[in-house]
Structure 1
Amino acid sequence: MNCERLSIRNHRHVIERIIIKGTLVLDTPTCLGSGDVEGDTDLVILRDSVEDKALLMGSSIAGALRNYLRDYEYGYNAEEICVLFGGQRSEEEGEQSPLIINDAISNTIPHVELRDGVKINSITRTAEDGQKYDLELLEAGTKFDISFELIIENNREKLIRELVIVLQGLESGKIPIGMKKQRGFGRCHVEEWQVWKFDLQKSDERLDWLNFEHWKLGLFSSYPIHKSIEEALGLFLDEKEDKRDRLTIHSTFTLASPLLIRSGQASSDKAPDVVHLKSRRNGEFQPVLSGTSLAGVLRHRAERIVNTLQKNTSIIDEIFGVDFSKDKTKKAKVSRLIVHESVIKKSNDLVQNRIAIDRFTGGALHGALFNEQPIFGSDKTELKLELELRQPKPHEIGLLLLLIKDLWTGDLPVGGTSSIGRGRLQGKTATITLALENKSWNITQASENEPLIIDNSEDLEKFVDALNEEVAA
């Protein structure tokens, strides 16, 4: 490049740089797929080629943060006006993002969980041909050392505010990463932060930035550690600034009958033929109700309700999304309903022996003896279900209320072998919240034989009426 071209080049006038490091911890199993289809499973995790540790791409973090910032500032599906991530791909003369996000590798060689899934026919309630898959997941508790660098030319206050928004969302567990986020995978939070500020208009701080050990992973033991990014950057957010329109349902259930969600991997050679799905949490395997299983059950029951009301099932696609690979007649659409994975606390594992019966002779089929290990509940058994619907409409809220009612009364079983009485839940408490309208309702039931106590039941009834009006329309 000659001197003349250098003189007319539009150089960036950087006045400040801020470096941020943190420790990100996975709260639920996470799918960081590599796209490689030649492994033992349909989808394997992305690994570092040198150390065989899990690799979290900076582009994956950036995409999750960018979407969250847009939703937080302007609401879902709004036009993007933020400056933190530069111009959009559609812009011919977009600007480079002032935020640099580095790739991160896990602190240790990760433990991997194998999960399998299958599409169930809503009419026959059996598995569809060719719709079985399996995938690798990073177990909960895996840690990554993440690193950011903010380059400031102008708009300092706006840049730092937007940076605090996205990092506070990451810190508090509001921003999942990886694949299948709508089904509970990829939830995470940040435990600790360290922040360095360099005023490049001062010669000594320019030298400090040049001598900074950018390559060093992890937190610096000789530098202050902050639990809150708001405190570290000196800017505190107002919760009222959040423009995300969403309905959240936090409910507590117990097991009214045994529950069996089949696991795709046996813990040992001597394990029963079928065991309940477990996930490693806090160093031990705990039984879970997966978000994929619960979402499938809710979708099938929603279809049944809508068909009974003689309404077009497009309302189901609007809530649960459309998978183009499974139905090429429809346009792909992401699910607006987020169904989180739930840990089942204080349950018991018992093995039951079963045998298949020949329907013609009435006798036992030869070689058809098998054993299963479902989980059984007690008075202390508890699982918390968490649902979130983005951009809720009144009739959609009404449909979700009917689904929660069916779960609550045990009319809607979850998991497998429901035909022999398994998978029934019993509701205990529920809190329903409409974020933008700042409204909430509480539902409690002390025991199965006690009456329901509902706050402002008339308001909830209006949502169900809206569903009936939608059907009439």
Structure 2
Amino acid sequence: MSTRRRFTFTLRAKTPIHFGGNLQGALLLDGDDKPFVSGNSIGGALRSWLNASSEVISADIMYYLGGPKKSIDEKEEFEESRVYISDGHLKLPDNPLVIDQGNAGLLAMEGTAVDPKTGSALNNHKYTRYDLPQGTELVFTVECDTNPEETTSPKEADITDAAHVRLSFTKLIYTWATAIHRGELRFGGQKSNGHGRFSLEHLTCREFLFDSSEALEQFIFNRHKGEEKDCTEDARKYVEYILGHPTIELSLKGHFPYGVYQSYTDREQSKEHGTQVTGLLRSVDETYYLPGSSIKGILRHEMRRLLFRMLPDQERSIAEREIRVDTLLQEWFGSQDKIGSVMVSNVVIDEVSEMNIERINNQNTKPTYNRIDRITGGVIDGALKTQNEVRGSAEIRLELRVGKDVEDVKYAEGKLFPLIYLLRNIGSGLLPLGGRTVIGLGQFEAKETEVYLDGDILRFSNTGPLDEKGQAELKVYYDLFVAFLNKEGEA
């Protein structure tokens, strides 16, 4: 006699989401041209997070999700998964605003490919990507045959089981729920750019006890009927128990006094002015913003320079130092095989004023520049460039992930100093954002860099030398950073 448990996740997107199809930038569509998520994609995200985290041991991952393994005689075998994961059903928010109609009337976003080594944009590598908006609902089920005595309400004793005791299926489900709550477990593409984050709205469980042939028939023909238990509150209690320390947050609150710009085509402005106008991206509610990927690219590039200065060059070739720095960068910003510690939000521009130039005919127009021939350095005849530059206030916000153990906190704090250092450079105007920075655009002014840590707020001035208190506090995190580099390898 066994019991099959089927958990149904109902998630709501807190960020844009992208589930890619066969064509670059397109969404995966079903036979009715509606977006959906394959069970393989969901299962891949669930397994990928388990492999990258330390929450579940590899033996339990293999037991539930299967995979390739070696037999006693060292032959390659494949263990089948005990868990079934359904395709995901997507429901868009009511009457969502869209920027552009295309690909089943979904949100069209422009992007620029970034060179991972330099952090700068690649020439002539723009693309259009279709996303689903924030508020989209994702529903999928995960089911498995379990022990009939297993409970869906874990007690503290269950939560603190020794590692050698096999993880219960319920605990595995609640562990995934916790990771979703933390924002660590994300779904779809563009995760490193802040996409794919969900909140847990509901979690329900339906049990099927196979104690007779009638029960088996009931499961086969009426599996979607019957009573479901709401496990949402149990999952949230489990989350609260094992969540541990909150995320460390860093913030710059300031403004762009001289304007900020990026060269994305502004369709509305282009229609209005009768010529191509480029500028910042706009969200679904027409709000200007700098994509988190752009900020992340700048931080990664500047972090690379900082690490090269910090690491010794004795007895190490340039190629070896490149590998060493790339490995360290993955600790902050991740890679295809590793979850990064830093999450960067889109920078929304508030209190916007668009830049206009007053002409002699009493008409205001957008700033217009001559295009430059990069080979000769001279202007290109008959080629003008019209830009939509905007001023406004904004907040640049980073999240630094922290584990639940004391050692995890120390490890995270060791990665804090360079982020404070880089944000102070941005807030003092030394590190401009966006494009056309050589003509003064993109300078950001923020009086302080704020760090939200363990319920306290640390403030570091960006407008001049730090006072004695600020120097002492920053020195603590500098020493932790050096200790982190020593732990990860020579520094």
TM-score by length of 1: 0.72
Checking the alignment, whether the CA contact within 8 Å between 1:407 and 1:413 is kept in structure 2 is yes
2:185 matches 1:166: no
Trace 1:374-389 onto structure 2 (pairs within 5 A). Answer: 374-378=389-393, 381-388=394-401
**Which secondary structure state, in structure 2, belongs to the residue aligned with residue 156 of structure 1?**
coil
Match of 2:65 among 86, 91, 104: 86
Distance 1:460 1:358, change over 3 A: closer
Checking the alignment, whether the CA contact within 8 Å between 1:349 and 1:375 is kept in structure 2 is yes
In 1: Cα distance, 2:307 partner to 2:180 partner: 37
In the other structure, the counterpart of 1:9 is none
- 5+ residue gaps, structure 1, are 1-12, 323-330, 434-438
Q: What is the root-mean-square deviation in Å for CA atoms of aligned residues? A: 4.3
In the other structure, the counterpart of 1:347 is 351
2:392 matches 1:373: no
2:209 matches 1:199: yes
Checking the alignment, whether the CA contact within 8 Å between 2:18 and 2:130 is kept in structure 1 is yes
In 1: Cα distance, 2:48 partner to 2:26 partner: 25
In the other structure, the counterpart of 1:259 is 260
**Which secondary structure state, in structure 1, belongs to the residue aligned with residue 271 of structure 2?**
coil
**Which secondary structure state, in structure 1, belongs to the residue aligned with residue 196 of structure 2?**
coil
Quote how far apart the aligned CAs of 1:46 are.
1.0
In the other structure, the counterpart of 2:283 is 279
Larger helix proportion, structure 1 or 2? 2
**Which secondary structure state, in structure 2, belongs to the residue aligned with residue 118 of structure 1?**
strand
Q: Deviations over 1:406-446 (max 9, x none)?
A: 2232322221111222223326453365xxxxx67632269
2:457 matches 1:463: no
Distance 1:128 1:26, change over 3 A: same
In 2: Cα distance, 1:367 partner to 1:423 partner: 27
Match of 1:317 among 295, 320, 326: 326
Quote how far apart the aligned CAs of 1:114 are.
2.5
In the other structure, the counterpart of 1:419 is 438
2:51 matches 1:31: no
Match of 1:229 among 205, 210, 232: 232
Distance 1:464 1:238, change over 3 A: closer
In 2: Cα distance, 1:321 partner to 1:465 partner: 17
In the other structure, the counterpart of 2:132 is 138
In the other structure, the counterpart of 2:289 is 288
In 2: Cα distance, 1:127 partner to 1:19 partner: 46
Distance 1:440 1:344, change over 3 A: same
- 5+ residue gaps, structure 2, are 72-76, 93-103, 152-167, 313-320, 356-365
Alignment identity in percent? 19
TM-score by length of 2: 0.70
Quote how far apart the aligned CAs of 1:299 are.
2.0
Amino acid of the residue matched to residue 430 of structure 1? E
In the other structure, the counterpart of 1:18 is 5
**Which secondary structure state, in structure 2, belongs to the residue aligned with residue 295 of structure 1?**
helix
Distance 1:252 1:224, change over 3 A: farther
Quote how far apart the aligned CAs of 1:160 are.
1.0
In the other structure, the counterpart of 1:149 is 143
**Which secondary structure state, in structure 2, belongs to the residue aligned with residue 356 of structure 1?**
strand
Distance 1:349 1:28, change over 3 A: farther
**Which secondary structure state, in structure 2, belongs to the residue aligned with residue 285 of structure 1?**
coil
**Which secondary structure state, in structure 2, belongs to the residue aligned with residue 195 of structure 1?**
strand
2:82 matches 1:67: no
Amino acid of the residue matched to residue 395 of structure 2? E
Quote how far apart the aligned CAs of 1:274 are.
0.8
Match of 2:27 among 42, 45, 48: 45
Quote how far apart the aligned CAs of 1:188 are.
1.8
Amino acid of the residue matched to residue 399 of structure 1? P
Distance 1:118 1:456, change over 3 A: same
Checking the alignment, whether the CA contact within 8 Å between 1:320 and 1:337 is kept in structure 2 is no
Q: Deviations over 1:14-45 (max 9, x none)?
A: x22223334332222223122x24xxxx3322
The alignment covers a number of residue pairs equal to 422
